[in-house]
Chain A
Amino acid sequence: MARVRFEQVGKRFGSVVALHDLTLDINDGEFFVLLGPSGCGKTTALRIVAGLQEPSAGSVYIGERLVNDVPAKDRDLAMVFQSYALYPHMSVYDNVAFGLRMRKHSREEIDRLVREAAATLGIDQLLERRPGALSGGQQQRVALGRAIVRRPQAFLMDEPLSNLDAKMRVQMRAELIRLHRDLGGTFVYVTHDQTEAMTMGERVAVLEGGLLQQVAPPQEVYDRPANLFVAEFIGSPAMNFLTARPADGGLRTDEGVVRLPDDLRAKVEASGAKEIIAGVRPEHLAPVEGGDAAYAATFTGTVDVVEPLGSEQHVTVALGHGSLVARLPAHPRLAAGASITLGVQAEHLHLFDAASRARIGP
């Protein structure tokens, strides 16, 4: 097991910058997630670690070893591909054994390790089959088996769950968490799925346009997004945004005034931002009962769309100029057309400088 380090790594494809000045330190034994929309550079970063692509700038370390010039076959890593990349002409056994054979392990040792890995993943009954005869979930396990059998320096996973159906994905998520706990290896996991990032990652790096946006434990990324992009990208339904200008006692938006506590107001003033984007997560909007003194802001509008989910309902409320989405308890069920007043507390406000898009305040 080893840590993986990026130092000012860049990658260009012709005139396209896929990765810009990435510096990251992935700890030994950590489950680290690279998260971002497609084209953000996360897969490029992973492939650079794997040695499948060469960085255009910067250095990559595995353990203490600079690996820029080390070919993929000598990096002692294991990779799980989105398509699984199983060798279709080999049996499951041979697929799992392939890496060991390439590294010249003895026949007995290969047999022992393959059967061990197969048992861990519950594929011991499938060893004689060809990948074509397996379901997606089983193929996924074989791909994982091929990775874990070698006890590599680090496990690299490129969207390994995205070809599975929703139910299987939930199951494999739990299994990956258990696998990581049992093996204790360094996992570098690429995904565009925030749920995977939130549920599995010990730390998450959010990338966009080849630029690192934030590195933090998933809860912190959710609670304190470092900038507007992260705030928009993480969370479902997405965060609500209101454009605002600093005013006496707080912010003035198209939908009314937002009162800010003194410390936050001081930070807004200190930032010198002319225009502010205020963000509120849907679960932090609640129907206002009684007075609105407890709230930093209240918004009155009409219920436009109700999406009942059984455990809760997502309600789109049309305001004077825009709309808000609120995540409310399933009961009482709201009806379209009803009037509603929603409030948000100051501690749940996220403020961003509209110009720099960076977070203001805590």
Chain B
Amino acid sequence: MSAPAAARRFALPRGARQLLTALPFLAPSIVLFGAFVFYPLVKSVYLGFYIENPFRTRQIYVGFDQYRDVLASSEFVSSLLVTVTFTLYTVVPALVIATFLAVLANQKLPGVVVFRTIFASPLAASVALTAVFWLVLLHPTIGILNEWIETLGLPRVDWLNDGGWAVTEHSGVSKLTSWISDPNWALLSVSMATVWMNVGLFTIILLAGLQTIPDELYESARVDGAGRWAQFWHVTLPMLSPTLFFASVVGVIFAFQAFGQIDIMTGGGPVDATNVVIYSIYQEAFQNFRYGAASVQAVALFVIMLGLTLLQFRLVRGRIFYR
């Protein structure tokens, strides 16, 4: 038997050797993801099976009972509804406004850089700053929003203290129409602040997307007889669709993670009108010290986010255009 053949006999299989080579390269991210993502994820699922006392000195195994109880509770359903509404209130307007601003800022005009900077500036504001700034704007007596509303002849709004449909009992048809007839002003207020905060980032993302659209497409469309609106509809929007999709995914994730502005502006109230799932998790875990119940919600949020992201990808497959 020749020497190389003998050496080969002791060698590991190809796949195993490749894994051994890959492991050191992957180690840093495995450690980081393990410590901050996978371990907490597994631990959350585990904690959901237990009830603990606030000092965590006693644990009682309850199995799936806690999952069932928490997920079926009216509080959780209500906070899910608030979260979904909050997502709608924030993502759609932010995308529409950002698209509008990005198209404006994409014009080839002298000094347009100044406007690009202005449009993007909310990006630089921290959550705390945004929240405090909007608290002032929304102040029931000295806030400028109410002043404007009054000049229009409309009644003042008690922005942050009016939970609308989220806290009022409605029945029959009015339960369906309450979303419009009895607005959840508190949630709308937090949403406005969030939209303002996200518009800067979305504008930058969309502006980058707009700048990849070749000028010739517009020129060709103009020669083909397309006016400005037709150009926007037939060239800009379809060419921007991958960017819009990306921004919408980011927007949904932001909405589900929104915490700072809710904590500062409403603390989840009035009653539970702005108590989105993530805030409810925080309250359960760190105010009520019910780690098990908080973990159950966290796991539910994870599953929802996963499902939603998959759904988004599936929904838009084939409808957005990637070059």
Contacts and interface: CB of A to CB of B under 8 A. Distances in A.
B222 interface: yes
B220 A81 contact: yes
A81 B234 contact: no
A78 B219 CA distance: 11
A145 interface: no
A2 to B, nearest CB: 15
B239 interface: yes
Interface in A76-122: 77-79, 81, 83, 85, 87-90, 98-99, 102-103
5 contacts: A73-B223, A85-B219, A85-B220, A87-B221, A132-B323
What 7 A-B pairs have minimum CB-CB distances, sorted nearest first? A102-B225, A89-B321, A85-B216, A99-B224, A85-B220, A72-B222, A89-B238
A103 B224 CA distance: 8
A51 B220 contact: no
Interface of A: 50-52, 71-75, 77-79, 81, 83, 85, 87-90, 98-99, 102-103, 132, 146, 150, 156
B225 A81 contact: no
Contact of A99 (B217, B225, B323): B225
Nearest to B224: A99
Contacts, number: 66
Nearest to A99: B224
Given A52-B223, A73-B225, A99-B224, 19 more contacts: A50-B223, A73-B227, A75-B223, A79-B219, A79-B223, A87-B220, A87-B235, A89-B238, A89-B239, A89-B241, A98-B221, A98-B224, A98-B234, A99-B225, A102-B230, A103-B225, A146-B220, A146-B224, A150-B224
Q: Which of B214, B222, B241 has the most CB of A within 10 A?
A: B222
Q: Which of B221, B227, B235 has the most CB of A within 10 A?
A: B221
A51 B220 CA distance: 11
B303 to A, nearest CB: 34
B299 interface: no
Contacts of B217: 85, 87
A88 B225 contact: no
Interface of B: 214, 216-217, 219-227, 230, 234-235, 238-239, 241, 321, 323
B226 A73 contact: yes
Contacts of B222: 51-52, 71-73
Nearest to B220: A85
Nearest to A52: B219
A90 B238 CA distance: 9
Q: Is the interface of B mostly helix, strand, loop or mixed?
A: helix
A72 B238 CA distance: 22
Contacts of B220: 79, 81, 85, 87, 146
A47 to B, nearest CB: 8
Contacts of A78: 223-224
A75 B219 CA distance: 13
Nearest to A80: B220
Contact of B234 (A77, A87, A156): A87
A114 to B, nearest CB: 13
Contacts of B321: 88-89
Contact of A81 (B219, B226, B230, B323): B219
Contacts of B214: 83, 85
Contacts of A90: 238
Nearest to B216: A85
B234 to A, nearest CB: 7
A52 B230 CA distance: 17
Nearest to A78: B223
Nearest to B222: A72
Nearest to B241: A89
Contacts of B223: 50-52, 72-73, 75, 77-79, 156
Nearest to B219: A52
A83 B216 contact: yes
Nearest to B320: A89
A79 B222 CA distance: 10
Given A73-B226, A102-B225, A88 B219 contact: no
A11 B217 CA distance: 23
A89 B217 CA distance: 11
Contacts of A85: 214, 216-217, 219-220
B108 to A, nearest CB: 13
B44 to A, nearest CB: 42
Nearest to B238: A89
